[in-house]
């Protein structure tokens, strides 16, 4: 572990990938603006992890996998609702790569999620079935890390679910407010996400 003043804290960088930045298949408005903010702080933490969406072709979250459906609509997969997206972050493609300006040299852990064909994964901690762990929680527990700061893309989806899961795991959770951006679909999703996060005790720093 790196030696620095945040000895009990981890920085979790969520999905700062080409497909979520300008020109990408699922570009988050102003998404790349988070990069200099994240780069400025990433070496100040005891532990840093970065996640990547890493989907197989034909992933269940792709609208193209559901004939007659369009991106940004919701369908039921079993008993669970699934937002449909444009094809994005397909494993091994340039769109799934970290943005080239993101400094990952300080990362202790790189975590790929959404790798199962029939299951999406927003959270850095659990797949969308809400029970299958990614391994991040166990890693933090083994390192005696009880506080996390989240940043990246997007505040109304993957950052939101990661933060909610972190709260549920008993971690102290903060979000780097200048280090996140939102999809904004459906309208008002960013405000609802921020309000809910504040309601459960997440701080914005």
pTM recorded for the entire structure: 0.94
Closest CA to 106 of 95, 115, 98: 98
Tell me the per-residue pLDDT of 104-156, one tens digit each, with 9 for 90 and over.
Answer: 999 999 999 999 999 999 999 999 988 999 999 999 999 999 999 999 999 99
Q: pLDDT value at position 1?
A: 44
Let me know if 158 is a catalytic residue.
yes
Q: Is 66 inside a domain boundary?
A: no
- Is pLDDT above 60 for 178? yes
Contact call for residues 150 and 161 (beta carbons, < 8 A): no
What percent of the chain stands above pLDDT 90? 90
Q: Which of 21, 89, 151, 158 is catalytic?
A: 158
Cα angle 163-167-169, degrees, rounded to a multiple of 5: 115
Q: Which residues of 148-172 are buried (b: 16+ CB within 10 A; e: fewer)?
A: bbbbbbbbbbbbbbbbbbbbebebb
Q: Is 69 inside a domain boundary?
A: no
Q: Is 116 inside a domain boundary?
A: yes
Let me know if 15 is a catalytic residue.
yes
The DSSP 8-state label assigned to residue 146 in this structure reads -
Q: pLDDT value at position 115?
A: 96
Q: pLDDT value at position 6?
A: 65
Q: Is 83 inside a domain boundary?
A: no
CATH number of the domain where residue 106 is located: 3.40.50.850
Q: pLDDT value at position 7?
A: 65
Give residue 78's pLDDT band: very low, low, confident or very high (50, 70, 90).
confident
Q: Which of 21, 113, 151, 156 is catalytic?
A: 113
Q: Is 156 inside a domain boundary?
A: yes
Q: Is 1 inside a domain boundary?
A: no
């Amino acid at each position: 572990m790196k030696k620095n003043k945040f000895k009990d804290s981890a920085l979790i960088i969520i999905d700062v990938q080409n497909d979520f930045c300008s020109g990408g298949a699922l570009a988050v408005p102003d998404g790349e603006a988070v990069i200099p903010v994240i780069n400025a702080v990433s070496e100040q933490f005891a532990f840093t992890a970065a996640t990547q969406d890493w989907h197989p072709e034909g992933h269940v979250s792709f609208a193209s996998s559901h004939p007659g459906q369009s991106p940004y609509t919701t369908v039921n997969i079993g008993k669970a609702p699934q937002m449909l997206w444009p094809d994005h972050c397909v494993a091994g493609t340039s769109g799934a790569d970290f943005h080239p300006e993101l400094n990952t040299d300080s990362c202790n852990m790189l975590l790929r999620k959404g790798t199962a064909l029939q299951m999406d994964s927003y959270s850095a901690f659990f797949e969308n079935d809400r029970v299958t762990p990614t391994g991040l929680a166990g890693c933090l527990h083994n390192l005696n890390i009880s506080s996390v700061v989240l940043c990246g893309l997007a505040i109304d989806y993957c950052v939101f679910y990661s933060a909610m899961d972190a709260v549920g795991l008993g971690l102290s959770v903060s979000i780097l407010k200048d280090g996140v951006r939102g999809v904004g679909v459906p309208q008002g999703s960013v405000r609802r996400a921020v309000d809910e996060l504040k309601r459960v005790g997440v701080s914005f720093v």
